[in-house]
Structure 1
Amino acid sequence: MTSILTNVAAMSALQTLRSISSDMEDTQARVSSGLRVGGASDNAAYWSIATTMRSDNMALSAVQDALGLGAAKVDTAYAGMNSSIEVVKEIKKKLVAATEDGVDKTKIQEEISQLQDQLKSISEAASFSGENWLEANVGDKTSVVASFVRDSSGSVSVKKVAYDLTIDNVLFDKGGDTGILDQTQNILGDGVAVNVNKNGTTATYNVPKFTSAEVSDAVTLASGSFDAGGKIAWTVAGDGAGAGVGYVKVADDVWVAAVEQDLAANNGQEAYAKDGTNFLWQIDTIPVAASSLESVSEFKIDGTTTGAQLDGLITLVDEALGKMTSAAADLGSMAMRIGLQEDFVSKLTDSIDSGVGRLVDADMNEESTRLKALQTQQQLAIQSLSIANSASESILTLFR
C-alpha cells in the first residue's frame, strides 16, 4: 500500500542514515584522538587499567628525576672522597720522607698543614642540593629514591637505596670527632694505650708494653707461673700477705704491668676480673713519654718528633686511607646501582606506555578504512532517502 501520510521507505532510509552517522561520529573520534578506548563508556575495564597505569607512569617519571638527583649526590660525594684520598696519599708520603735522618721536619709540617687544610676545604665543598655526605653528623641516615612499586594486591610503595653515615665513611663529624679524619687515636710510640677503671673512674693511659717472651722470662726469674693464653702471669710476694705482681695481656703478644689488689680473692682470676666496683688488678699507670692522641687532620710534627711517633702517625694515616678507599668503593657501587636503576626505570616506562597503547590505542589503518567505507555508506543512504522521499510524487500522475 502506498500512502502519502506514512512513507515507510523514507523512514527506513532515515534510520539507516542515522545509524551510519552515529558510526561515523565514533570513527571520527577515534581518528582524531588516536584512541580506541577514550572513556569508561568505550570499555570500562580497559579504561580503568589504562588510567591506573598512566598514573603509575607519572610516578615513575618522578622516580627518574629523583634518581638523577641521587646520582648527582653520589657523584659529588665520590668526587670529594676520591680527591681526599689523593691528598691523604700525599700526607703519607710526607710522613715517610720525615723519617729520613737530618730532614727538616718543620718544613715538611708546613706542607702537611696545607694538605690538611685542603682536606677540610674538599669536605666542605662536596655538597649538592644542601646535602654533604663527607662533612656530616655521624649516625644520620640518608637515601636515594629508587623505584615505585605496585604489588599484586594493588598496594603501592616507594623503594629507596639507603646510605648510612658512619665513622667509616664520614670524613669530618659535625656532631663530634668521630669522622675518619677528625677522630683521635693514640700514637703509641713505645707504649700501649689502655683504659683503667677503678672504683667507677675510667682513664686512658699510655704505659710500657711487653712481649710474651719478655713476660715469660720475667715471671720465670721471679719463680712464678706464666699463662700465654691471657690470664694474669703473676708472682706471689713474700708469704702471700702482700700483693702479687705480674702482667695483663691486652692484645696479641702485648702485656702490661699490673699489681694485684686482693691476693686472697684474685688467685686464678681472669685478666680484668673485678669484685663489685673494685678491679682486682691495677694496671701500672706509669706513663710512657712521646705519646699523644692525634687525628689525621690535626697532627703536627717538629724537630722533637721521634721515630716511634712518626711510625704511629704513618699507621694512623694508612688506616684512614684504608677506610676512605673502602668508602669510595661503596660510593662507586652505589653509583653503579643507581645507573642500572635509571636504565631499568626508563625501559619500564616505555614498556608501560606500550602496554597501555595496546589496550586503548586505535588502529589507524583500520579506522581510516572504516571511515572511508562509512562515508560511502552515508552518501548511499542520503541518495536512498532522496529516492524514498520522491516516491510519493509519482502518485500525482494518477490524478491527471
Structure 2
Amino acid sequence: MTSINTNTSAIAALKTLRSISDQLDTTQGRISSGYKVENASDNAAYWSIATTMRSDTKAMSAVEDALGMGAAKTDTAYTGMEAAIDVVSDIKAKLVAAREPGVDKDKINKELTELKNQLTSISKSASFNGENWLYDDSNTSGTTQEMVGSFVRGADGNVSVKTISFDTSDSMLINDADASGGLLTAGTSATYTSGTTTTTGTYYLISSAAGSGSGTEVSLSSTTTDNDIDGMIASVDKMLSNMTDAGATIGATKSRIESQSSFAKDLSDTLTEGVGKLVDADMNEESTKLKALQTQQQLGIQALSIANSNSENVLSLFR
C-alpha cells in the first residue's frame, strides 16, 4: 500500500541513519579522547577497576619517591661507615707500628689524635635530611628508622603500607650523650696474648662529650708499655670487626631498597599497562570503523532521499 500520510521507507531509513549517527558519535569520541571506556556509563565494571588502579599507581609513585629517600639515607650512612672503617684501619696500623722498639710513641699519638678527629668529623657529617645513623647526641643508644617500602592492596580490597626498618644502634659510631651508645665511644673488650699470658683488655677509641666509655682510651705516650699496645690493637681490631658487621647490615638494607625500588617501578608500569588494556581505544580499529560508518551514513542519507521521493511519484497518477 502506498500512503502519503505514512512513509514507511523513510521511517526505516531515518531509524538506520540515527543509529549510524550514534555510532559515529561514539567512535569520534573514542578517537578524540583515546579511551574506549572514558566514563562509568561506557562500562561501569572496567571504569571502576581502572579508577582504582590509577589511584594505586599514584600511590606506587609516592612509594618510589620514598624509596629514593631511603636509598639516599642508606647511601650516606654506608659512605660514612666505609670512610670510618678506612680511618680505623689506619689507627690499627699506627698502633702496630708503635710496637716497633725505639719508635717515637708521642709522634704516633699525634697522628692518632688527628685520625680520631677525622672519625668524629665523618660521623657528624654522615647526615641526610636531618637523619644521622653514625652519630647521636641523645640519651638513646640508637633508634629504629622506618622507610616506606611498598603499597599493598589485599585480596579483600584493604590497603596497607609496608616499611623497611633499620636499627641505628647497630651502626652508631659516636654518641656524645651516652658513651655506651657508640661503637667507638663505648669500651670494647678483647682478649689478647702478651708473651705467655692471655689477658682481656677494654679500650675505647673516642671520648664522648658526656664522658669516657668503660676501660681506657686508645692513646700513646712514651710510658705506654708493649702490653698496653697489644691490648689496644686487639680492642681496635674488635671495633673494626663490629664496624664491618654494621657496614654489611647497612649494605644489605641498601641492596633491599634498591631491589624494592626497581620492583616498584616495574609494578607501576605493569599497572599502567593493565589499565590501558581495559580502557584504551584501539586507534587502528576505531579509525577503520569511522571510515565504514561515514560510508554508511552517506548511504543512509541517500536511502532517506530515495524514500522521500517515493511520495512524489504519486502525483504522476493524477496527471
How high is the TM-score relative to the length of structure 1? 0.71
User: How far apart are residue 153 of structure 1 and its match?
Assistant: 0.9
Q: What percent of counterpart residues are identical? A: 54
Out of 269, 274, 296, which is 1:350 matched to?
269
Q: Counterpart amino acid of 2:141?
A: V
User: How far apart are residue 393 of structure 1 and its match?
Assistant: 2.4
- Higher alpha-carbon deviation: 350-359 or 371-380: 350-359
* Residue 367 (structure 1) aligns with: 286
Question: How many equivalent residue pairs?
Answer: 304
The answer as to 2:306 corresponding to 1:387 is yes
Relative to its length, the structure with more helix (as a share) is 2
Stretches of structure 1 that go unaligned for 5 or more consecutive residues are 191-210, 212-252, 256-290
Residue aligned with 2:151, SS: strand
Alpha-carbon distance in 1 for matches of 2:29, 2:199: 88
* Residue 146 (structure 1) aligns with: 149
Residue aligned with 2:149, SS: strand
* Residue 239 (structure 1) aligns with: none
| 1:123/1:5 CA distance change after superposition, 3 Å | same
The answer as to 2:48 corresponding to 1:48 is yes
Q: Counterpart amino acid of 1:116?
A: K
User: How far apart are residue 82 of structure 1 and its match?
Assistant: 0.2
Indicate if the aligned counterparts of 2:192 and 2:234 stay in contact, CA closer than 8 A: no
Q: Counterpart amino acid of 2:312?
A: E
Pairwise mapping of residues 23-172 of structure 1 onto structure 2 (< 5 A)?
A: 23-136=23-136, 137-166=140-169, 168-172=170-174
Indicate if the aligned counterparts of 1:189 and 1:308 stay in contact, CA closer than 8 A: no
Provide Cα deviations, 1:230-258, integer angstroms capped at 9, x if missing partner: xxxxxxxxxxxxxxxxxxxxxxx989xxx
Indicate if the aligned counterparts of 2:191 and 2:199 stay in contact, CA closer than 8 A: no
- Higher alpha-carbon deviation: 342-351 or 386-395: 386-395
Q: Counterpart amino acid of 2:124?
A: E
Provide Cα deviations, 1:261-300, integer angstroms capped at 9, x if missing partner: xxxxxxxxxxxxxxxxxxxxxxxxxxxxxx9x74212432
Stretches of structure 2 that go unaligned for 5 or more consecutive residues are 208-216
Alpha-carbon distance in 2 for matches of 1:25, 1:174: 73
Indicate if the aligned counterparts of 1:189 and 1:309 stay in contact, CA closer than 8 A: no
User: How far apart are residue 188 of structure 1 and its match?
Assistant: 9.3
Out of 243, 247, 258, which is 1:339 matched to?
258
| 1:90/1:395 CA distance change after superposition, 3 Å | same
| 1:132/1:139 CA distance change after superposition, 3 Å | closer
Q: Counterpart amino acid of 1:170?
A: M
* Residue 261 (structure 1) aligns with: none
Residue aligned with 2:11, SS: helix
| 1:174/1:377 CA distance change after superposition, 3 Å | farther
User: How far apart are residue 186 of structure 1 and its match?
Assistant: 7.0
- Higher alpha-carbon deviation: 295-304 or 377-386: 295-304
Indicate if the aligned counterparts of 1:95 and 1:310 stay in contact, CA closer than 8 A: yes
Q: Counterpart amino acid of 1:164?
A: D
The answer as to 2:187 corresponding to 1:180 is no
User: How far apart are residue 187 of structure 1 and its match?
Assistant: 9.0
Alpha-carbon distance in 2 for matches of 1:156, 1:146: 14
Alpha-carbon distance in 2 for matches of 1:123, 1:311: 26
Indicate if the aligned counterparts of 1:82 and 1:328 stay in contact, CA closer than 8 A: yes
Alpha-carbon distance in 2 for matches of 1:363, 1:102: 86
* Residue 7 (structure 1) aligns with: 7
| 1:356/1:189 CA distance change after superposition, 3 Å | closer
Alpha-carbon distance in 1 for matches of 2:91, 2:60: 46
Q: Counterpart amino acid of 2:305?
A: S
Provide Cα deviations, 1:322-344, integer angstroms capped at 9, x if missing partner: 11001111111111111211221
How high is the TM-score relative to the length of structure 2? 0.88
Alpha-carbon distance in 1 for matches of 2:191, 2:221: 17
Residue aligned with 2:3, SS: coil
Out of 174, 188, 204, which is 1:295 matched to?
204
Relative to its length, the structure with more strand (as a share) is 1
Alpha-carbon distance in 2 for matches of 1:51, 1:297: 57
Residue aligned with 1:41, SS: coil
Alpha-carbon distance in 1 for matches of 2:191, 2:20: 97
| 1:311/1:14 CA distance change after superposition, 3 Å | same
RMSD: 2.5
User: How far apart are residue 146 of structure 1 and its match?
Assistant: 1.2
Alpha-carbon distance in 2 for matches of 1:375, 1:156: 47
Indicate if the aligned counterparts of 1:188 and 1:309 stay in contact, CA closer than 8 A: no
User: How far apart are residue 101 of structure 1 and its match?
Assistant: 1.9
Indicate if the aligned counterparts of 1:74 and 1:334 stay in contact, CA closer than 8 A: yes
Alpha-carbon distance in 2 for matches of 1:103, 1:395: 131
Alpha-carbon distance in 1 for matches of 2:274, 2:187: 59
